[in-house]
Structure 1
């Protein structure tokens, strides 16, 4: 989950919880208000009943034959489904307003009123109040029960409204949060895209800065400053590499001619061999310098012209160049059976690709039991694969993992001269062509595998 989604999600959850709490508080507050208000109505109704009884004559109150009577108090009936029960001091029912159903009551409530003057309880949908009062020297228990139809209807309607508002708000907040965070963090998305597009040829990229001083703009300013410094350092490094290579190339060329002349002048075998050894070192150094010059020129963006290059031609031209220095070098070339008819061409720079194969062939000549390489080329629907195999001492897995690093040489090269830059340069050229190069070993075989996208 990315940062934008995480922030939007956390913001939505936080707002959802807050809104849920607010809605719950509103509902509970209204429910308590309804309950308190209805309790007051019940109490008012019970007081009216007590007033009505107080107006009755003592004869009516003491009439033992009268157990049930109608209570008409001439007050507006503001309670729905109200039931009024009046009990005498000995807890016998003496008055009621219910005639069409069987009366059932719980005497425990009457017993409770002996200890408390007033009680309130809820029974299913009915709310009840009871209190004990003294009228004309006699004690009476008055129980009033009613259903708050209007209040419960309003409470249910409020619940429906609050739930609807909650889910509508929830949907709005979640959608708004994601769009809001997407808009606010758009500079970060642009920042990410720009970074992904950066290569060694695009170090001059500058992100557009905003007028605000928020954290994102501070980050963009820091990035632009870093890119400026990085570009300056990279340019200085390339300038040094180019200048140094040019300065080194001229004396190397003179040394080569002088060694060649010196070799022709001397007739001593030992001296000739010594001069030849020095000359080979100079040639190798000259090749490395030339490779660095070509590569630096390409990385500066100069003379970049990709064209159709036949891989078999590149292999044979590289073989011819190596053959001049290593006369015993042999190559076993084979084109494998093709999935389809193809011309073995890739888009690239031929001079750079030749450097790759020259370096690989030189490794074959230096580190093989005999200077011989087997080269196999095959073409598929998507790639052109090249495999170079030679018989020689293999390197360990640890060394193989670092074989394409600069100045990295295996144990099998301890007694062999070299700069340790050949494979590193080859790897950079392959990366420049968006191609892949890898090393593997099999018994006594060293295998380099190259893959080019068509």
Structure 2
């Protein structure tokens, strides 16, 4: 069963039950009112009969029967019965609809008034006192008009209930269709979205309701998927290109060495060149693996406490050990900071890779291979500034250097594959931080890393 039909049936059932309860309530209230009014009329008839038959100003039974017979307000099948103080029948209106037992007489004398129903007849008994002797008067009749009115009301309420249920069913299906129409449009558009046209987006609508919020979240998810697909295509394209160049060079050198009858020194030179290319391929492969690892969700990366000042000291030692001609100056703004204030939550191997790339990159592009690292606090974050005075990054390429395999014009002639800075940027974003760069002829190039403590 479709969602539209289920919602229609559910809403119709709820309204139908509530309407049925309301109709039943109306019927019960009307029935109580009918019964109360009819009993009040019977009680009034009994009191009137008492005044006229056994009161101080009596009428004869024959005259009373004549008046009662020709009275316009007489009740259907009305009967009046009067007993004296000795429980002797002294008056009966002539019909024999009601049978009175001594038990009932005693009950009336005790309670002063009583009422009950005998089949379809309503009966009222009262203790009448006018003078010294108490009389027991019974008045009974059939509420033909009231019962017929209640039957008509029941038929009217029942018919109205059926009619309103049918209208609710039709109207509910129409309005549920209108409400769920955006879902149909969303389903149709989702069927159109494939890997070849990820630029399509779901219709969001004009109202800020739950369906619009759902469409907006789907569109944000599609934005992330499209970005991931484009990144994957770019990654594969650039990686293939970058890998093809050294592989072609290695293949060419080996083919030439096999065809030529080179001297041992020339063969050693060829092998050294091939070894350099292989080492370059190894570095590129490691960079690609690290880039793929940094692209994972933060929940999939093991995190733990990282002492950022100690980590920078280790990275400083690594850079100077691997690049002996590089000079790294590390300044830690200690101030009133406690050792625990330099601690943050993150992945130490990934952060170590990011800082190593920044320091290695700063030493590579510096004219004197000198890089200055400053560690300080900034509110609830720690800030690492990596500065060098080398070739300036063009302003139009400041954002492009964080795209994989994209290198600035100032990197011409220097070794590299355009992987280090994109990898560093992803590691920083993985730790909910920010990486910014400033470059000018006057102040040189400064990379600013901000990480939450």
Change (3 A) 1:156 1:248: same
Unaligned runs of 5+ in 1: 62-67, 267-274, 286-454
Say whether the 8 Å CA contact 1:8–1:181 is kept in structure 2. Answer: yes
Considering only aligned residues, what root-mean-square deviation do their CA atoms show, in Å? Answer: 3.4
Per the alignment, residue 71 of structure 1 pairs with 65
Change (3 A) 1:72 1:46: farther
Q: In structure 2, which of residues 102, 105, 116 is the aligned counterpart of residue 107 of structure 1? A: 102
Q: In structure 1, which of residues 191, 194, 199 is the aligned counterpart of residue 194 of structure 2? A: 199
Q: In structure 2, which of residues 221, 229, 232 is the aligned counterpart of residue 234 of structure 1? A: 229
Change (3 A) 1:265 1:107: farther
SS of 1:81's equivalent in the other structure is coil
Distance 2:257 2:122 in 1: 123
- Mapping of residues 31-430 of structure 1, within 5 Å: 31-54=31-54, 71-74=65-68, 75-99=71-95, 101=96, 104-260=99-255, 262-263=257-258
Cα distance per residue 1:289-322 (max 9 Å; x no partner)? xxxxxxxxxxxxxxxxxxxxxxxxxxxxxxxxxx
Distance 1:224 1:59 in 2: 95
Cα distance per residue 1:351-391 (max 9 Å; x no partner)? xxxxxxxxxxxxxxxxxxxxxxxxxxxxxxxxxxxxxxxxx
Say whether the 8 Å CA contact 2:78–2:139 is kept in structure 1. Answer: yes
Say whether the 8 Å CA contact 1:46–1:142 is kept in structure 2. Answer: yes
**TM-score, normalising length from structure 1?**
0.52
Distance 1:148 1:103 in 2: 15
Distance 2:145 2:5 in 1: 46
Per the alignment, residue 16 of structure 2 pairs with 16
Distance 2:15 2:97 in 1: 53
Distance 1:108 1:72 in 2: 31
Say whether the 8 Å CA contact 2:47–2:128 is kept in structure 1. Answer: no
Distance 2:74 2:233 in 1: 96
Distance 1:231 1:246 in 2: 22
Say whether the 8 Å CA contact 1:11–1:177 is kept in structure 2. Answer: yes
Q: CA deviation at 1:56?
A: 8.2
Distance 2:97 2:13 in 1: 54
Say whether the 8 Å CA contact 1:49–1:73 is kept in structure 2. Answer: no
Q: CA deviation at 1:98?
A: 2.5
Change (3 A) 1:104 1:59: same
Unaligned runs of 5+ in 2: 262-270, 282-453
SS of 2:66's equivalent in the other structure is coil
SS of 1:160's equivalent in the other structure is helix
Distance 2:110 2:63 in 1: 28
Per the alignment, residue 292 of structure 1 pairs with none
Say whether the 8 Å CA contact 2:51–2:57 is kept in structure 1. Answer: no
Distance 2:11 2:57 in 1: 72
Q: CA deviation at 1:253?
A: 4.4
Change (3 A) 1:14 1:103: closer
Q: CA deviation at 1:159?
A: 0.6
Cα distance per residue 1:42-76 (max 9 Å; x no partner)? 11111121122036889979xxxxxx997333543
Q: CA deviation at 1:111?
A: 0.9
Change (3 A) 1:59 1:149: closer
SS of 2:207's equivalent in the other structure is coil
Distance 2:122 2:59 in 1: 33
Distance 2:116 2:79 in 1: 14
Distance 2:98 2:8 in 1: 61
Change (3 A) 1:84 1:195: same
Provide runs of 4+ in structure 1 moved above 6 Å. Answer: 56-61
Distance 2:214 2:235 in 1: 31
Which shows bigger deviation, 194-203 or 83-92? 194-203
Distance 2:57 2:247 in 1: 139
Distance 1:160 1:102 in 2: 30
SS of 1:46's equivalent in the other structure is helix
Q: CA deviation at 1:256?
A: 4.1
Q: CA deviation at 1:264?
A: 5.5
